[in-house]
Amino acid sequence: MGPVDVLCLGESMALFVPAEPGPPAEVRTWTRTVGGAESNVACHLAGLGRSSAWVSAVGDDAFGRAVVSFVAAHGVDVSGVLVDQDRPTGLYIKESDASGSPVRYYRRGSAASGMGPSLLATLPLGGVRLVHTSGITAALSDSCLALMRALLAAPRTHLLSFDVNWRPRLWADRDPAVLRELAALADIVLVGADEAEAMWGVGGPAAIRALLPEPATLVVKQAERGATLIERDPATGTDRAEVFQPALRVDVVEPVGAGDAFAAGYLAATLAAAPPVRRLRSGHLRAAAVLRTHDDVGPPLLPDIVSLLLDADESEWAAAHIS
């Protein structure tokens, strides 16, 4: 693996979505694609012109080969992906719906769940500017949690971003308080206001910041309302004023994957040293493209539209409608 801007670490799985309309119990034809928070981010970053790598483990099976091939086809370096001879590639089913898509996981004992802290020594971090991961990995197994603790606690010269990515079913037998522990060690934290309310009993940006003062940058995603950025001034060590940017109006097909797209847009703009509003808008624009499709990584908005909206004034941004 050569030097890349961003290294993303976490499980990806074979994903099945309905290929025909109707209640899931009556659907007979399903389309196989690929989904996984960190590989989604890596694919979006590559599409945004940032060199990216994805590191994980897959089984020595057809699903594993399909996952690796899919991610590689988006221009992501997959040379660090491990192939587990004993454990299978995980899979999940998405029952697509615009109001929220129920997801059913079949990932217990998967190849990625076998990852552990020994992986850290093999990560090609030379030249990497940012490592991105999420709370999903910490919930997969004891060894994955140990890996996450080691990754976040290790000395680093790169930025480390952590998307909380709360998945209640994965935490049924585990203490979700560990997510606050891990987030506190990151440089950039992305968390949904609804996630924070469910996990920690606080949902407003100021309250979340009070609970999580350690990261230099906190991005609170507020669903269709927008997103708030709270960032520490390195010169004074105190937080600057909150920056809120409303989300775009979008004709939503289904919402799964939009959070990963937002993260990628935000991180790409961060690496470009963009100002706060532009970083948040970059996230919203990438998320808007995914909201229009059933896929976790769909076709982006046209470059002319992205450029126009990035530079739009507040009234033009508020009036925009992505159909």
pLDDT digits (tens, 9 = 90+) for 95-118: 765 555 677 888 889 999 999 999
Domain containing 33 equals 6-322
- The reported pLDDT for the residue numbered 264 is 97
Q: What is the mean pLDDT of the chain?
A: 92
> Residue 29 domain-assigned?
yes
pLDDT at 2: 66
Q: Which of 77, 260, 295, 296 is catalytic?
A: 260
CA-closest candidate to residue 89, choices 71, 118, 68: 68
Tokens representing 298? 């769909």
Q: What is the pTM of this model?
A: 0.93
Helices assigned H by DSSP within 213-275: 258-271
- Helix, strand, or coil (residue 8): strand
Per-residue model confidence (pLDDT) at position 100: 54
- Residue 1 lies inside a defined structural domain of this protein: no
* List of the chain residues with pLDDT < 50: none
* 40 inside domain: yes
Give the count of beta carbons closer than 10 Å to the beta carbon of residue 184. 15
Q: Which residue has the tokens 């309310």?
A: 197
The pLDDT of residue 174 is 84
- CATH number for position 196: 3.40.1190.20
156 located within any domain: yes
Q: Which pLDDT belongs to residue 124? A: 87
- Counted domains in the chain: 1
Q: With respect to residue 265, please indicate whether it lies within any of the assigned structural domains.
A: yes
The question of whether 260 is a catalytic residue gets the answer: yes
Q: Indicate the SS3 state at residue 190.
A: strand
Tokens 């680093």 belong to 156
DSSP single-letter state for residue 174: S
Which neighbouring-strand residues pair with 239?
Answer: 232
Q: Is 72 a member of any domain?
A: yes
Under 8 Å between Cβ of 197 and 203: yes
